[in-house]
């Protein structure tokens, strides 16, 4: 006869830490975010990965964005929030907590580490919220006000010849 022993439940394991970048641009004053597909399941995600020794978390998030989507820009040093998700492994899932940093995109590289492995696309914030499948990321995007990250382009003053020409007309 097998005797069943009631053992107390084991405490939950702590979540593994990751960092992520939320790539942002503004078209006609309206925010857009870049999502990319995961390599395995092809679901829409943000660039993310493990913290890097010797780099601040915001810099590691920027590095992930560069490697996964070929984007470069100004990364804000204060996270906008975090979300939990289950990372798929060969034989199990790991619970991960992702600290998210806004990255104002300035340019996209022609060549980068994971080019051809993922699809990357710009979406209106509302559309991106509907496309991501991680509930925590959906909630983070839904509550986000990206207008505080919008820096309108500065107009350059006319050069000296241009000002002189304006005075002569």
Q: What is the DSSP string of 58-107?
A: HHHHHHHHHHHH-EEEEEPSS--EEEEEEEE-SS-EEEEEEEEEEEEEEE
Task: Tell which CATH architecture fits domain 16-149.
Answer: Alpha-Beta Complex (3.90)
C-beta separation of 117 from 40 below 8 A: no
Give per-residue pLDDT as tens, 141-167. Answer: 999 988 778 766 655 555 555 554 445
Instruction: Give the integer Cα–Cα distance in Å for 46 and 137.
Output: 9
- pTM beyond cutoff 0.85: no
Q: Comparing 138 with 169, which gets the higher pLDDT?
A: 138
* Tens-digit pLDDT profile for residues 94-135: 899 999 999 999 999 999 999 989 999 999 999 999 999 999
Q: Identify the three-state secondary structure at position 151.
A: coil
């Amino acid at each position: 006869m097998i005797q069943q022993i009631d053992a107390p439940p084991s405490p939950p394991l702590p979540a593994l830490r990751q960092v992520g970048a939320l790539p942002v641009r503004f078209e006609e004053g309206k925010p857009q975010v870049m999502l990319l597909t995961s390599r395995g399941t092809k679901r829409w995600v943000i660039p993310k990965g493990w913290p890097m020794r010797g780099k601040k978390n915001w810099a590691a998030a920027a590095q992930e964005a560069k490697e996964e989507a070929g984007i470069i820009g100004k990364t804000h040093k204060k996270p906008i929030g975090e979300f939990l998700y289950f990372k798929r492994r060969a034989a199990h899932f790991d619970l991960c907590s992702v600290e998210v940093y806004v990255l104002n995109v300035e340019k996209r590289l022609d060549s980068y580490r994971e080019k051809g492995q993922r699809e990357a696309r710009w979406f209106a914030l509302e559309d991106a919220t509907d496309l991501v499948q991680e509930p925590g990321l959906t909630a983070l995007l839904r509550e986000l006000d990206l207008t505080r990250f919008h820096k309108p382009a500065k107009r350059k003053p006319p050069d000296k010849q241009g000002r002189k020409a304006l005075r002569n007309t």
